[in-house]
Amino acid sequence: MATLYIVATPIGNLEDVTFRSLRVLREVDWVLAEDTRRTRVLLDHFEIPQKPTSLHAHNEAGRIGAVLAALEEGKDVALVSDAGTPLVSDPGERLVAAVAEAGHRVEAVPGASALLSALTVAGFRTERVLFLGFLPRKVGARRKLLESQIGRPETVVLFESPHRVAKTLCDVVDVLGDRGACLARELTKRHEEVLRGPASELAAALTEAPPKGECTLVIEGASEQEALDAVAWSDAEVNRALEERLAAGASVKDAAADLAGRTGRARRTLYARAIELRKASTDGSEAT
């Protein structure tokens, strides 16, 4: 049976390629690559005469028919991404779904992964991990996704562009608190760098000296106490507590600070909620 191979390639150092990956790339009838220029570097280095065809986010749907036809003819196909394991925040999921639905074999050829490499050097718990890929670019959507992690104990791994990583860390501090963080940059490459520390310190350092290259962020999960606090306080209870503090004459800032310490929720999130509650209260008074 013809097979679609999902082939992992090095994330930087070409020595990390596996013998099996090289054999598969030599033997298949067709190689699909996210960026043919980058894949060509790997193939040329190991003297593999394949001529890759592009498959990226903008043409993936259009390639599916040709891949299915090739598999029907008994031809083996390999899919590689720019670096690391395909489909991990990279194109290919629609192709794999279509090939599997058509009844053809899909086989993984495992290897390098920026996600796993960063996780192993971060120094955080690894028994439960949540991968968020690239966070949304819009601030509101990004913060909403981070808010879903309040009180959750999983170590969080995400990818980020070098010019946004400092802002993302600031959002982490505002939404989740000043958790431990690790920035893994240019993993396995000549200028590899791993920075560890409180998210606020990393944000300040990266704002002053923006990083270059591929960045993977690992964020420590919620502490046991934070997880208990988040479960203990429902949204309704938080709202009531904020309303009581505001009614007693506390400022929005003080009310948010007080509840942040008691509930385990981020101060900035509580600040925004307190403003909404105060506005609703004022509008209600005016209406009557």
| pLDDT tens digits, 100-113 | 999 999 999 999 99
- Are 41 and 9 contained in the same domain? yes
Q: Does some domain include residue 9?
A: yes
Average pLDDT along the chain, 288 residues, taken 10 residues at a time: 97 96 98 97 97 96 98 98 95 97 98 96 96 92 86 94 94 90 96 96 95 94 79 82 90 85 76 89 63
The contacts of residue 154 (CB under 8 Å, 6+ apart) are: 128, 129, 130, 221
Number of domains the chain is built from:
3
Q: Do 85 and 34 belong together in one domain?
A: yes
Final residue belonging to a domain, choices 86, 112, 138 = 112
Around Cβ 23, how many Cβ atoms within 10 Å? 12
Domain extent at residue 98: 3-112
In a domain, 40, yes or no: yes
**Residue 148: predicted pLDDT:** 84
Question: Tens of pLDDT along 17-71?
Answer: 999 999 999 999 999 999 999 999 999 999 999 999 999 999 999 999 999 999 9
CATH number of the domain enclosing 191:
3.30.950.10
Choose among 226, 8, 204, 276: nearest CA to 117: 8
pLDDT value at residue 284: 61
258's CB contacts (< 8 A; 6+ apart) are: 245, 250
Which residue, of 200, 223, 246, is where some domain finishes?
223
Radius of gyration of the chain (CA): 24
Last residue of a domain, one of 201, 223, 245: 223
Domain annotation covers residue 228: no
Q: Are residues 142 and 193 in the same domain?
A: yes
Q: Residue 286: what pLDDT?
A: 57
Angstrom distance (rounded) from CA 118 to CA 12: 13
182 and 240 share one domain: no
Residues 77 and 155 in one domain: no
Is residue 80 included in any domain, yes or no?
Answer: yes
